[in-house]
Amino acid sequence: MGCNRNCGLITGAVIGAVLAVFGGILVPVGDMLIEKTVKKEAVLEEGTTAFKNWVKIDTDVYRQFWIFDVQNPEEVEVHSSKIKVKQRGPYTYRVRYLAKENITYDPETHTVSFLQPNGAIFEPSLSVGTEDDTFTILNLAVAAVPHLYPNSFIQGIFNSLIKKSKSSMFQNRTLKELLWGYTDPFLNLVPYPVTTTVGVFYPYHNTADGVYKVFNGKDDISKVAIIDTYKGKKSFYAVFGAEINLKGIPVYRFVLPSRIFASPLQNPDNHCFCTEKLLSKNCTLYGVLDISKCKEGKPVYISLPHFLHASPEIAEPVEGLSPNEEEHSTYLDVEPVTGFTLQFAKRLQINILVKPARRIE
C-beta closer to ligand NAG: residue 6 or 338 = 6
Instruction: Please state whether 111 falls in left (phi above 0), alpha (psi between -120 and 50) or beta.
Output: beta
| 159 near ligand NAG (CB under 6 A) | no
| 282 near ligand NAG (CB under 6 A) | yes
| 281 near ligand NAG (CB under 6 A) | yes
Measuring CA to CA, which residue among 42, 15, 40, 41 is closest to residue 339?
A: 42
Number of residues that bind ligand NAG (CB under 6 A): 9
Q: How far is the CB of 52 from ligand NAG (least distance, A)?
A: 21
Q: Is the peptide bond before 336 cis (omega within 30 degrees of 0)?
A: no
Rg, Å, the chain Cα set = 22
What is the sign of the dihedral through the CA atoms of 326, 329, 335 and 340? positive
- 265 within 8 A of 249, measured Cβ to Cβ: no
Over the window 63 to 102, marking each residue x when it contacts ligand NAG by CB under 6 A and - when it does not, the resulting string is: ---------------------------------------x
Name the segment binding ligand NAG (CB under 6 A); options: 170-178, 236-244, 257-265, 319-327: 170-178
C-beta closer to ligand NAG: residue 57 or 115 = 115
Q: How far is the CB of 280 from ligand NAG (least distance, A)?
A: 9
| 172 near ligand NAG (CB under 6 A) | yes
| 170 near ligand NAG (CB under 6 A) | yes
Instruction: Please state whether 89 falls in left (phi above 0), alpha (psi between -120 and 50) or beta.
Output: left
C-beta closer to ligand NAG: residue 28 or 199 = 199
Please give the DSSP secondary-structure letter assigned to residue 99. Answer: P
Question: In this structure, are strands 331-334 and 197-198 parallel, antiparallel, or unpaired?
Answer: unpaired
C-beta closer to ligand NAG: residue 49 or 136 = 136
Measuring CA to CA, which residue among 169, 213, 188, 208 is closest to residue 77?
A: 169
Which residues would be at the binding site for ligand NAG (CB under 6 A)?
A: 102, 115, 136, 168, 170-172, 281-282
